Amino acid sequence: MSDTSVKKVDSTYSPKGKLGQKYLASGKSVAMRLWEDEQPNEDKQPVARDYETVGYVINGRAELHIEGQTILLEPGNSWVVPKGANHTYKILEPFTAVEATSPPAQVHGRDEN
């Protein structure tokens, strides 16, 4: 019997979340999402999520404010936000990045809060 859990996701048809994220492939333990052409924003309040996030910058620049640190994110950079860490992002110029979350962030709308 072949494995039917293997999926191909065409981002052209991917659903979008309320925060602007585009949902990509998702498994039982990890999910990917795309933040595409996010525009500069004002400081947002820090949040703590019940999942771990790793990301990779494709275009643009942003600051990750996490647990008293400010980390500049530029094309080619990757980052980690541990589960439960207080953090926020300040978009400095149009920003595109891919993130993976574990467990999957979209389960039960957890990333919409």
27: domain CATH number? 2.60.120.10
| Contact residues for 46 (Cβ-Cβ < 8 A; gap 6+) | 65, 86, 87, 88
- On whether residue 32 sits in a domain, the answer given is yes
**pTM assigned to the model:** 0.86
In terms of residue numbers, what domain contains 82? 16-112
For residue 25, what pLDDT is reported? Answer: 87
- On whether residue 9 sits in a domain, the answer given is no
Contact 73, 97 (CB under 8 A): yes
Count of domains observed in the chain: 1
The pLDDT tens digits for 70-109 are 999 999 999 999 999 999 999 999 999 999 999 988 754 5
pLDDT band at 6; cut points 50, 70, 90: low
The pLDDT tens digits for 31-66 are 999 999 999 998 789 999 999 999 999 999 999 999
- On whether residue 83 sits in a domain, the answer given is yes
Cis peptide upstream of residue 103 (ω within 30 degrees of 0): yes
- On whether residue 4 sits in a domain, the answer given is no
- On whether residue 2 sits in a domain, the answer given is no
- On whether residue 3 sits in a domain, the answer given is no
- On whether residue 86 sits in a domain, the answer given is yes
Dihedrals phi, psi of 5, to nearest 5 degrees = -85, -10
The two structure tokens encoding residue 57: 């910058």
- On whether residue 5 sits in a domain, the answer given is no
